[in-house]
Structure 1
């Protein structure tokens, strides 16, 4: 189906940042490194568990306010999607196409889910594009989606 299939089934590991397991940010970081050649900060010392929603939301807000992320109203593949957990924007996924995302939820394996489905549709807060992101379709070194 897509580049995302290779990541499906990867185990959840708190603060994981490689193929042995990831949390939601670790998965974004791994995909960005492998597919887009963009190194994102690891934040491993900024929080101790993916359950720390307030700390994670603060990191995300700081990245949006000061970092290399720009909100987009027309999400494309590889844009990062932000979702609410409780009242805080503290979960991220990666846009695959108009309806699907790749993400890692706490205690689950990496999977592809419907962005607008029952579980995530009412939690969606926005899509963000890294300023250094190139579309893989235009990058001969990375191939096609």
Structure 2
């Protein structure tokens, strides 16, 4: 069984008040730290999607992430529903590849690209951390 199975179904929370509920960024931060040894910064004000989108785009930490294709296990996946990315998940090499993410209304889910598209998400890009 893949390590990510333990997270499926954990609830979403706008404030990411873990350890039992998360917003998308806090979930990615926790997984990156626990499974890949990467410490990512906090992002404030997750309830404002405009602020979240700008933060994903402009945060100085993003300079440490290189855009890659194809993705590898553990790479971050930026997702968008409009012009700018507003959501993030983690690429997993499971079932042909897909994204583990924590979505409002669903909690932590694993979705392949076809399921992401059915839920209105488009992949903005795959990013790998470079220390």
* TM-score, normalised by the number of residues in structure 2: 0.85
Q: Specify every segment of 5 or more residues in structure 2 that has no aligned partner in the other structure, as ranges.
A: none
The equivalent of 1:103 in structure 2 is 101
The equivalent residue for 2:26 is 26
Cα displacement (A) at 1:64: 7.0
- Quote the RMSD (CA, aligned, Å): 2.1
Q: Provide the rounded CA distance (Å) in 2 between the counterparts of 1:23 and 1:122.
A: 16
| Inter-partner Cα distance in structure 1 for 2:106 and 2:25 | 14
Q: CA deviation at 1:19?
A: 2.1
TM-score (norm 1): 0.78
Question: Deviation at 1:48?
Answer: 4.5
1:68 and 2:64 aligned: yes
SS across alignment from 1:95: strand
Supply the distance in 2 between the matched residues of 1:131 and 1:92 (Cα, whole angstroms). 17
Q: How many residues align?
A: 128
Paired residues of 1:82 and 1:90 also in contact (CA < 8 A): yes
Query: Aligned match of 2:110 in 109, 112, 115?
Result: 112
Partner of 2:75: 79
For residue 136 of structure 1, what is the aligned residue in structure 2?
Answer: none
Bigger-Rg structure (1/2)? 1
Q: Match of 2:87?
A: 91
Q: Quickly say closer, same or farther: Cα 1:120–1:92, change in 2 above 3 A.
A: farther
Q: Distance in 2 between matches of 1:35 and 1:124?
A: 23
